Copies of this chain bind each other. A is one copy, B any other.
Amino acid sequence: MQWVMVYLVGLGVIFSLIFAYYNFRKGSKMEHGTPTMKDIADSIREGANAFLKREYMTFTPILLVVGIIFGVIFTPWAGVAFVLGMAMSALAGLIGMKGAVVYNERVANEARLGVERKDPSAMGKALNVAFRGGSVMGLSVGGFAMLGLLVIYIVVGMIFQYANPDNLKVTTSIVGLDIILFPQVISCYSLGCSSIAVFNRLGGGIFTKGADMGADLVGKTELGIKEDDPRNPAVIADCVGDNVGDVNGNGSDLLESTIGAVVASAVLPSAIQIASLNTSRPITRELVSRMMEYPLAFLGVGLIACVIGVLYVLFRKPSDKLSRELNISLWSSAAIIAVATLVLSYFFFGDQDLSSVDFRFGWISPWISAVIGIVAGILLGMFAERYTSEKYKETQRVADLAKSGPALVIVGGTSTGWRSALPSCITLGGAIILSSVFSGIYGSAIAAVGMLSFVVATVSVDTYGPIADNAGGISEMTHQDEEVRKITDSLDSQGNTTAAIGKGFAIGSGVLAALAMMMAFANEGNVGGELNIIHYLAMGGAFIGVGIMHWLSGRMLNSICSNAELMVDEVRRQVRENPGIMTHETKPDYKTCVDICTKSAIAEMRVPVFVALLSPIVGGFVFGPMFVGGFLLGTILDAVVTATALANSGGAWDNAKKYVTSMKAKLTKEFGEDRYKEIHDASVIGDTVGDGFKDVVGPNQDIMIKLMATISVIMLPVINAFNLFSLIIK
């Protein structure tokens, strides 16, 4: 089956990357907008490129050193895989982001042209363009992620034969560490992807939210100008941040989840093989191979299915039903995957002796587990919508509380987020139980693979959001006609809902991926497939794990505050020193704001990233693998509730503000102009608080748990060989 897997993944990669290139070129060739539009788009492009350049310049050397260390202590392949992971993640993010920047302008222009031509399907066409822009990121993520993994599989696994079950045994590295080579190498690939993801998400997040909050705090509140008013000096920085954080960061986040899930489920079979050696029914070598290849093949099918799904949306007749348009790509991809992988499961496991593994219903079991993952992913999105959309009562209630002032808006939105965590946790907990009932320990890893198999479609829809948002910004900044802005506003508002759904999905899939890595951790090395949480080292680790996760989150919020304060000062300074800005006589100095955000974001992200990377390592050196197992559990359990709560509180506040704005006429009539302003201000405070919650802290928790789980898997041989606790306490 090895070749079936290689062909499926290869085809998927080729289709995705060609289609991504096609969509990118198509966007670049589209007509530029008005000269001011082009100007603004150029400023955004410059700012985003400058940030990424600086970020990569700062951190790449450090990461290269890490790669070299891996190469020396494990195997040169580990170092190569780590660097390859970095490269693939960076490439996917970069291309996707450049695509988004190109399309920001084109969507705004498409809306403008549509209104000029009085085209009745103008909105559908603009949506189509925005979605095409998003698909550049979606397709790059899927394509590059699997390209790198495929290369490693072919070179290290097949040519050098390390994926051969005969070679899946403990060997000694050059410095004397006990490792199993192939799992170690692909785990390093996964960590390479994670490292770039955390830089993009966290750096971009601090950048964009500092700019966003800073712009809003002075602009809306003190100067009384609207969001995206070109007189606000921080407005370009805000757009740059959207592209870096919400586009690039989100893409590399999901890329990393996908690779994490696939790698974890490809690592588990080697652990299952080792565990089964001492039993009466040892697992066959062929089955081990198939279980390793199955998740990759599954993703290959996923890529192809998503290409079809995206194609279908792009080439059908555009309609005005925005939400339906976007959902079609998800649903059609998911449906194709569900059918095609049933066949795949039969091919992979139909002829195998499965008595040595926990497949309750034979060959169909892993397929059922994967479908459970797909269904869970869809459910997570639905719950997110129910708690954050202004169509439902939860968000309406938050809006209603604005009548009693900002304090109750905050308390009410917090309550919404917290309560929303339960259905998500039940979905994930239920998915873990069910998928494992069907396919044993392999099941929950495969559920994660299933959930992430339509990642291309998800990321395409996700990226549509910030593209529409920035298109709206550009329309606003270039003073487009009211009709144009109506179109971009509708696209943007739809983007808020897809963002909330996408976040639910990203958190859920990230948690499952981290969990699969943690399972791999517990099944390798001397933790031995069990993690007795009643043991004091594991329990102590769990306590410190939840503590670290909260600390990291608090630290990120602090960074946003600092960056926002800098931005507030700068905006106030420019407006004060240059009175021409407010009278439209002179243009504000956008570049300085971008520079300040760039410097501040890069300075602020160092500490949390290094704490996240080092804490499981230090914990492992002091207390050993039991402690690290508990620690990972703590981080995952903390992240699953907190990230969901933050994402949904933030979404509810955002949409509650929109709801209040939409009720302006009614509220003004009922309470008068002044009271309306008070109510609206209260809702804006909730929205501002939620910005950092939902776009920085939540998503980054999700990345950090994966980062910590992956680094723990990689460092396990080292921790096994040496830890202080086992030296002192026998």
Q: A421-B550, A554-B418 are in contact. Are A433 and B534 (CB under 8 A)?
A: no
How long is the Cα–Cα vector from A202 to B543 in the complex, in angstroms?
26
| Selected interface stretch from A42-50, A135-143, A561-569 | A561-569
B640 x A561 contact (CB < 8 A): no
Given A422-B548, A638-B641, CB of A406 within 8 Å of CB of B685: yes
A594 to chain B, nearest CB (A): 20
Contact of A544 among B425, B436, B538 (CB under 8 A): B425
Docked pose: A411 CA to B433 CA in angstroms: 36
Partner-binding segment picked from A12-20, A83-91, A524-532: A524-532
A541 within 8 A of B: yes
- Taking the complex as formed, is A217 at the interface, i.e. its CB lies under 8 A from any CB of chain B? yes
CB-contacts of A499-523 with B (<8 A): 515, 519, 522-523
| Interchain nearest-CB distance for A171 vs B (Å) | 25
Near B by CB (< 8 A), chain A positions 326-374 give: none
How far is A519 from B536 in the complex, measured between Cα atoms in Å?
A: 10
Known: A415-B555, A551-B418. A564 touches B408 (CB 8 A): yes
Say yes or no for A401: interface residue by CB 8 A criterion. Answer: yes
Do A415 and B557 contact each other (CB < 8 Å), given the known contacts A532-B532, A543-B429, A640-B543?
yes
Kindly state whether residue A729 has any CB partner on chain B within 8 Å.
yes
Query: Which chain B positions have C-beta within 8 A of A539?
Result: 429, 432, 444, 515
> Known contacts A418-B550, A547-B422; is A531 also within 8 Å of B529 by CB?
no
Interface residues in A158-200 (C-beta closer than 8 Å to B): none
- Residues of B contacting A544 with CB < 8 Å? 425-426, 429
Judging by beta carbons under 8 Å apart, are A637 and B634 in contact? yes
Structural contact, A441 and B554, CB atoms closer than 8 A: no
A407 at the interface (CB under 8 A from B): yes
Does A416 sit at the interface, judged by CB under 8 A?
Answer: yes
| In contact, B640 and A637 (Cβ under 8 angstroms) | no
A265: interface (CB < 8 Å): no
Chain B residues within 8 Å of A422, by CB: 547-548, 550-551
A420 CB contacts on chain B under 8 angstroms:
554
Q: Is the CB of A433 within 8 A of B641?
A: no
**Contact, CB under 8 Å: A546 / B217:** no
Interface size range of chain A in the complex: 35 or more
Q: How far is the CB of A211 from chain B (nearest CB, A)?
A: 14
- Tell me whether A33 is interfacial, beta carbon within 8 Å: no
Is A558's CB under 8 angstroms from B415's CB?
yes
Given known contacts A217-B408, A568-B404, A637 and B415 CB-to-CB distance under 8 angstroms: no
- Contact (A418, B534) CB under 8 Å given A432-B540, A634-B637: no
Judge whether A429 and B541 touch: CB under 8 Å.
yes
| Partner pick for A533 among B428, B531, B645, CB 8 A cutoff | B531
Closest to A523 in B: B534
The contact string, 1 if C-beta is below 8 Å from chain B, for chain A 548-591, is 11110111011011001100100000000000000000000000
Q: Which residues of B contact A688 (CB under 8 A)?
A: 407
Hey, which chain B residues are within 8 Å of A560, CB to CB? 411
In contact, A419 and B537 (Cβ under 8 angstroms): no
Measured CB to CB, the nearest residue on chain B to A536 is B436
A637 to B543, Cβ gap below 8 A?
yes
A405 CB–B CB distance under 8 Å:
yes
Chain B residue nearest to A443 (CB atoms) is B536
Q: Does residue A466 face the partner (Cβ distance < 8 Å to B)?
A: no
In A194-226, the 8 Å CB interface with B consists of 213, 217, 221
Indicate which residue in B534, B551, B638 contacts A531 across the interface (CB closer than 8 Å).
B534
Q: Report how far A543 CA is from B541 CA in the complex, Å.
A: 17
Chain B residues, Cβ within 8 Å of A533: 531-533, 538, 633
Contact indicator per residue, chain A 396-416, by CB within 8 Å of chain B (1) or not (0):
000001001111101110111
- Contact assessment for A542 and B637 in the assembled complex, using a CB-CB cutoff below 8 Å: yes
**Does A616 interact with chain B (Cβ within 8 Å)?**
no
Taken together as a complex, chains A and B put the C-alpha atoms of A153 and B637 apart, in Å, by 39
CB-defined contacts of A637 to chain B, threshold 8 Å: 542-543, 546, 634, 637-638
Is A156 on the interface with B (CB-CB < 8 A)? Answer: no
On chain B, the residues within 8 Å of A408 by CB distance are 213, 217, 561, 564-565
Cβ of A532 to closest chain B Cβ, rounded Å: 5
Tell whether A557 pairs with B414 under 8 Å between CB atoms, given A408-B564, A519-B534, A633-B542: yes
| A340 CB to nearest chain B CB (Å) | 27
Q: Does A430 touch B at the CB level, under 8 Å?
A: yes
Q: How far is the CA of A426 from the CA of B615 in the complex (A)?
A: 12
A77 contacts the other chain (CB 8 A):
no
Is A692 part of the contact surface with B, judged by Cβ < 8 Å? yes
Q: Are B729 and A437 in contact (CB under 8 A)?
A: yes
Would you call A460 an interface residue if the criterion is a C-beta within 8 Å of the partner chain's C-beta atoms?
A: no
| Residues from chain B with Cβ under 8 Å of A418 in the complex | 550-551, 553-554, 557
Please measure, in the bound complex, the distance between the C-alpha atom of A221 and the C-alpha atom of B425, giving whole angstroms: 39
Q: In whole angstroms, how far apart are the Cα atoms of A405 and B405 in the complex?
A: 14
A239 to B428, CA, bound (A): 44
Given A433-B623, A534-B531, do A411 and B540 touch, yes or no (CB 8 Å)?
no
Residue of B nearest to A549 (CB): B641
A609 within 8 A of B: no
CA distance A638 to B422 in the complex (A): 13
In Å, the complex CA distance between A444 and B535 comes to: 11
Q: Nearest CB to that of A221 among chain B residues?
A: B405
Closest CB in chain B relative to A370 CB, distance in Å: 16
**Known contacts A426-B544, A532-B530, A551-B421, A557 near B412 by CB under 8 Å:** yes
B536-A432 in contact (CB<8A): yes
Q: Please determine whether B404 and A406 come into contact, CB atoms closer than 8 angstroms.
A: no
User: In whole angstroms, how far apart are the Cα atoms of A548 and B415 in the complex?
Assistant: 13
Q: Are B437 and A536 in contact (CB-based, < 8 A)?
A: yes
Q: Are A547 and B429 in contact (CB under 8 A)?
A: yes
Q: Does A424 contact B (CB under 8 A)?
A: yes
18 A-B contacts, Cβ less than 8 Å apart?
A217-B405, A411-B692, A412-B558, A414-B554, A415-B558, A418-B553, A419-B551, A419-B554, A420-B554, A421-B547, A429-B544, A432-B543, A437-B729, A441-B536, A533-B633, A546-B637, A637-B637, A637-B638
A residues with a Cβ closer than 8 A to B are 213, 217, 221, 401, 404-408, 410-412, 414-426, 428-430, 432-433, 435-437, 441, 443-444, 515, 519, 522-523, 529-534, 536-544, 546-551, 553-555, 557-558, 560-561, 564-565, 568, 623, 633-634, 637-638, 640-641, 645, 685, 688-689, 692, 729
- Known: A407-B688, A437-B536, A542-B633; 6 extra A-B contacts, CB below 8 A, are A410-B410, A411-B557, A414-B557, A416-B554, A418-B551, A432-B543
